[in-house]
Structures are given as structure tokens and as C-alpha cells.
Structure 1
Amino acid sequence: MNWDERVDAVWADDDAGDDEVIARIDALAAERGADDARAEFERAGARDSAGREAEAVVLYRRALGLGLDEVHRPQAVIQLASSLRNLGEYDEALALLRTERQRHPDGPYRDAVAVVEALTLASAGKPAKGLSVALLALVPHLPRYHRSMTAYAREIAGSDT
């Protein structure tokens, strides 16, 4: 198995506990060295998954700084924003997500960006705006009613006090 397949195997192992996942991912990351963006991304994800968001944030930032490919970069942004949300850093999380949405409005992760943005807004005390973001992300998937649902979603956004 190549490195990616071995990483995938760790993530697919539902019987592995958090500490085991971290240890296995760290061992795989060590094969690539400390300055490998993808290795740092996987290390961050292992900690994030284990509820160790503060540790994950440091590693996500490092991975992004080292330069991730276009498959993993948006995932790292989304996961970093989610971790920041869990840590109560709403403004930074929203800034990351808005930048990602502006850079890649039609990217493959646009709906994931919207979901994390909606959750972050709700956590930040703006549930109506979060609902609006979620609804606007759903509109393109509807078979009809695009215009009316878009109007309703935009109207709801202003309901937060």
C-alpha cells in the first residue's frame, strides 16, 4: 500500500481509539518529515477528530503555511474553521470561510464551506443568518422554487437581533 492508502486505512478503522489514531497518523507523518504539508494536515485531522482542537489549529495553520495541494487545502481551511468555531473563535472562522467561498465559489467544497459557516453563525448568536446560509446552499439542489426560496433565505438573514 502507498502512503495515502495507509492513511485512509487508519481513518477507516472504526475500532481504533483516538490515541491510537493519533499515534498511527503521527507514525505515517514521520515518514514524510516535519516540513510536509500533507503530513501536518493529517496530524491536525487526527487531533481534531479526537476533540483536541487547540492542537489541531496549530497543525492546520502549519499545513496551510507549508502549502497544501488544491485537494487538501480547502479541506484544511474548512476543518480549521470548524476547530476555531469549537474554540469560540467565530470571527476568525467566518473570515476563513468567506475567503474560501470568494476564492472558489463553485468549488467542490462549497456546500461544506456553507455548512460550517452556518454552524459558526449559529454558535456566534446569529442563528437566522446561519439558517439563511444553509438554505442558500440548498437552493441549487432543489428541482424548482429557486427564486422564491432564495428570496425567503435572504429575508430570514435579517431576523437576528
Structure 2
Amino acid sequence: MDGNFDMLVENGWLFKNDENQLLHYFSDIVKKYPNSARAKFELGNVYDYLGQEMKAIPLYEEALEMSLKDEWEAYALIQLGSSLKNVGKLNDALEVLTEAETRFPHLLSISMFLGITLHHANRESEGMKTVLKELCVK
């Protein structure tokens, strides 16, 4: 199914310049695969892309509850944390990104998002340390 989903996703993003068609395409995938965590994650990505984080957040949460494969779970945690930050839910974002960094320490992008979120939460020093630690170690 993953290879099939990869192709479905690639085909869907061909509509990135037509927001209505993009949203319709990925909404149809969720309707076609209602029990697919990956489908919900991808629709969340679309809402994020469209600047509609409040609609993306519950889709990411649902996808994570449904059990994504590790690769997609890491991406979903990053996306969820970023979206939470963007809507001003900094404590929730920090919780999600801290969990993600603990579970996926090899992904530099998680530490970068965590550092940015710490900065937005007026914890600039801690945010800078998080980013610099990762840059110096990796």
C-alpha cells in the first residue's frame, strides 16, 4: 500500500497550484481509505500547505492515534508541532516536539523546529542551545 500511497500523493501534488482541486483530491483519498492513517496525514499536509493549520491539527492527531509507520510518524509529529506553534499553542507544540526529539533523535529537523518553538515561547537561550547542540554534534 505504501508504494500506492506514494504515487497517489505525488499525483495529488500536481494540483498544488489549484487549491480547490488539491483539497478535493486529498479529501477523496481519505473517503476512499477512511481507515488509513497515511491518508489523514496527507490531508493534514494539504491543509497546512493552504495555511489552514486548525484543520490540519486534528488530522495529524488522528493519524498519529491510528499508528503511522515510523517515517511518517516522525513527519506527522513535526507537522503537528509546527501547526500548534503557528496557531499559538506553544506549550502543546513544545510537548509534541520534545517527544518527537526523544523518539527520533537522528532527525535534525525536529530539533530545529523545537529550537524555533522555544524561541517563540520566549525561551530564546534554550532554543539557541537546542539548535547549536544539534548543529555541532551532527
Q: Distance in 2 between matches of 1:128 and 1:19?
A: 42
Shift of 1:131: 1.7
Shift of 1:14: 7.0
Partner of 2:73: 73
Shift of 1:20: 2.5
> What one-letter code is carried by the residue in structure 2 that aligns with 1:135?
L
Partner of 1:60: 60
Aligned length: 136
Unaligned regions of 5+ residues in structure 1, if any?
142-161
Shift of 1:15: 5.2
Partner of 1:88: 88
Greater Rg over alpha carbons, structure: 1
> What one-letter code is carried by the residue in structure 2 that aligns with 1:3?
F
> What one-letter code is carried by the residue in structure 1 that aligns with 2:8?
R
Unaligned regions of 5+ residues in structure 2, if any?
none
Partner of 2:5: 3
TM-score of the superposed pair, with normalisation by structure 1: 0.77
User: CA RMSD for the aligned pairs?
Assistant: 1.8
SS in 1 for 2:70: coil
Contact 1:7 1:28 in 2 (8 A): no
State the identity as a percent: 28
Q: Distance in 2 between matches of 1:69 and 1:88?
A: 28
- The 1:28–1:105 alpha-carbon spacing in structure 2 relative to 1, beyond 3 Å, is same
Contact 2:15 2:21 in 1 (8 A): no
Q: Distance in 2 between matches of 1:128 and 1:14?
A: 41
> What one-letter code is carried by the residue in structure 1 that aligns with 2:20?
D
Partner of 1:127: 124
TM-score of the superposed pair, with normalisation by structure 2: 0.88
Q: Aligned runs of 1:1-161 on 2, under 5 Å?
A: 2-11=4-13, 13=14, 16-32=17-33, 34-106=34-106, 110-141=107-138
Offset from partner CA, 1:44-91 (integer Å, 9 cap, x none): 111011110011001111111111111211110110000000011111
Offset from partner CA, 1:70-127 (integer Å, 9 cap, x none): 1211110110000000011111111111112222323xxx211111101111111122
Q: Distance in 1 between matches of 2:22 and 2:130?
A: 33
